Amino acid sequence: MEIRTVGVVGAGQMGNGIAHVFALAGFDVTLNDISQDALDQSVETIRNNLDRQVGRGKLEETARDAALSRITTTATLSDLGPSDLIIEAATEREDIKHAIFAELAPHLGDQTILTSNTSSISITRLASRTDRPERFMGFHFMNPVPVMSLVELIRGIATNAETYDTLSAVVATLGKQAASAEDFPAFIVNRILMPMINEAIYTLYEGVGSVESIDTSLRLGANHPMGPLELADFIGLDTCLAIMNVLHEGLADTKYRPCPLLTKYVEAGWLGRKTERGFYDYRGDVPIPTR
């Protein structure tokens, strides 16, 4: 089937990035959130990011204006029902995701494909609670969405070939690269990335190195663009902890046990950049390590 209209649930960091790339690629996008303030801020973020692309000579002003004209916002979830494709990009909590799909169910078109941008939760389990498990997939974008070229495509046990082929074509239209992952906890990227971040936190917890020395070592010693603790702050420490818990519970292997220090930071509400404190303190002009 051909995808023309796209609904995005959640106007946070991932949701606004997904809306950005779809609108820029010519899709009509409806962005939903329970907060009107979040929707307004999301549109402003998209506008600023598009302006940045124009300023760098990567985008024409006419293309920016056309993309913005394709984005509408709504605080009413049912407005997304008639969309050809719906992408759930809400917080990484399974109960919330189930509730979203349950509320959408009575309003969906027969043709609508449902997807989740979850970074770790079982696609088969999410799909099983809907009326269309054959037209349900994991559609995992990387952060920041406008910059990162990878999209993980995750089939549930019931996902049919037409749904997979349709979403593969959508990824190509976006100018991104698809990678197929099987439906196991955290899929590919986070199955590899999160244990590395968790091990970096253990390295800090055990006093092997400071925040600064750990990040410097991985930037210069492994040629990573940012250190693992800086990256954890960028992702959000609550998200990192949620993914590690999914890995630990789903695979029952102690090597995935979340570091107690990660849990402690989350309990303190120090979640990284979005709360201005994590492994770095971002309240000043220059980030300062907190340990």
Cβ 241 vs Cβ 258: under 8 Å: yes
Catalytic residue among 119, 120, 122, 198: 119
CA distance linking residue 290 with residue 213, whole number of Å: 13
Catalytic residue among 42, 152, 198, 230: 152
Residue 98 annotated as catalytic: no
33 is in an annotated binding site: yes
Catalytic residue among 83, 117, 122, 190: 190
Residue 140 annotated as catalytic: yes
R_g (Cα) of the chain, nearest Å:
19
Tokens of 181: 């992952």
Helix (H, G, I), strand (E, B) or coil at 156: coil
92 is in an annotated binding site: yes
Straight-line distance from the first to the last Cα atom of the chain, in angstroms, rounded to the nearest whole number: 52
14 is in an annotated binding site: yes
Residue 180 annotated as catalytic: no
Tokens of 259: 């570091």
199 is in an annotated binding site: no
- Cis ω for the linkage preceding 260 (within 30 of 0): no
Helix (H, G, I), strand (E, B) or coil at 88: strand
36 is in an annotated binding site: no
143 is in an annotated binding site: yes
Catalytic residue among 16, 88, 116, 140: 140
Residue 78 annotated as catalytic: no
194 is in an annotated binding site: no
13 is in an annotated binding site: yes
Sequence-separated (6 or more) residues with CB below 8 Å from residue 260: 205
12 is in an annotated binding site: yes
Residues 129-164, buried b or exposed e (16+ Cβ, 10 A)? Answer: ebebbebbbbbbbbbebbeeeebbbbbbebbeeebb
116 is in an annotated binding site: no
119 is in an annotated binding site: yes
Strand ranges (E), the chain = 5-9, 28-32, 71-74, 85-88, 113-116, 136-141, 150-155, 177-181, 280-281, 288-289
97 is in an annotated binding site: yes
Q: Give binding residues for NAD(+) as ranges.
A: 10-15, 33, 92, 97, 119, 143, 274
What residues are designated binding site? 10-15, 33, 92, 97, 119, 143, 274
Q: Among all residues, which ones are annotated catalytic?
A: 119, 140, 152, 190
